[in-house]
Chain A
Amino acid sequence: GDSVTQMEGPVTLSEEAFLTINCTYTATGYPSLFWYVQYPGEGLQLLLKATKADDKGSNKGFEATYRKETTSFHLEKGSVQVSDSAVYFCALSDKGGQNFVFGPGTRLSVLP
């Protein structure tokens, strides 16, 4: 079945550092790909998405590019802030929308 793998956390960075959180997937066909963010005590919120190969999703300084050849969707941000401290989930959805799969989440802590 479809699956999503993320780098294990926790990830601890200093403010203004560069962030990469790796995500790779296994799926039949061409799924849509998502990054969700969960701030402490809250539900998940969509951060960005990409629906086809080579699409780049971006939001709040975060970016991720849909790479079909490497089945990856790595999340990047050039300069993290303390307010970015959260748990980040990579996810995929098949085109029929019947199968939605989340990765295990990566906790990010940004220190001032």
Chain B
Amino acid sequence: DTAVSQTPKYLVTQMGNDKSIKCEQNLGHDTMYWYKQDSKKFLKIMFSYNNKELIINETVPNRFSPKSPDKAHLNLHINSLELGDSAVYFCASTLRGGNEQFFGPGTRLTVL
């Protein structure tokens, strides 16, 4: 069984479009995250949700909007896509309390 899954795995789109990436975890975790990894492999946290409530919102453009319909899902919607949004986006989850994070396989977003 896949612990943290993301869809789609690849996403190629034009500038200006709106797109969504979905994330689901079946580990019973209460905290979920979105990270952006650039071409140099640097990981930057974007958002963190605990029990469907936003607890970390780093400096990201407001074109990015996370949505958590329940504890097992955290989706990322991106409006008006720009070239600089091209990256790999990772979803992760954890049980709050200092435990390790479990990562999804990533979504490679390419904006043309």
Contacts and interface: CB of A to CB of B under 8 A. Distances in A.
Interface of A: 31-32, 34, 36, 38, 42-46, 49, 51, 87, 89, 93-98, 100, 102, 104-105, 107
SS of A interface (majority): strand
A49 B4 CA distance: 20
Contacts of B99: 32, 93, 97
Given A42-B105, A43-B104, A43-B105, A97 B98 contact: yes
B42 A97 contact: no
B77 interface: no
Given A44-B90, A97-B31, A97-B94, A89 B104 contact: no
Contacts of B31: 97
A94 B98 contact: yes
